[in-house]
Amino acid sequence: MISKFLRIFTIILSFFFFTGFVSVFSFLGPGITVITSGNLYKAGAQFIINQTIEKETGKNSLTLIKEEINKNLIKEEITKNNSLNEDLRQLVEKRIKITRQKLENQNLQKLVKKRIIITRSKLNLNNITQ
């Protein structure tokens, strides 16, 4: 009797795993739920939800969740890079303004010195010492 039951169980089990009739993961998740929690209703609901997701998207729930997580990670990476680029742009603009201001001050100082020299030469103040 036990050998007959074992033989039938082996044939059914091999039918499921080797023919691709039913995806393995659709039974694996609910089977683990039944074994660990003993809740048959919870396992049945999980199986139905997995089948519905697979019919709607063509992907099993694990693949769907993995792809969604990857999409979110990529969006976060893009946002982080954009933020970094914006910070870098602001820093460069700030440094450019500071450098322009320094150059303007240097040019102004050169202009003032030149004007002083011209004014002294016109007033003939070069020969006078204090």
Query: Does 63 fall in a domain?
Result: no
Residue 18 in domain:
yes
Taking alpha carbons only, the member of 61, 64, 68, 58 closest to residue 47 is: 61
Give domain status of residue 87, yes or no: no
pLDDT single digits (tens) 26-73: 666 666 766 776 666 776 777 788 888 888 888 877 788 888 888 888
pTM of the model: 0.35
Residue 34: give the domain boundaries.
1-58
Residue 120 CB contacts under 8 Å (≥ 6 apart), including other chains: 126
CB atoms within 10 A of CB 50: 21
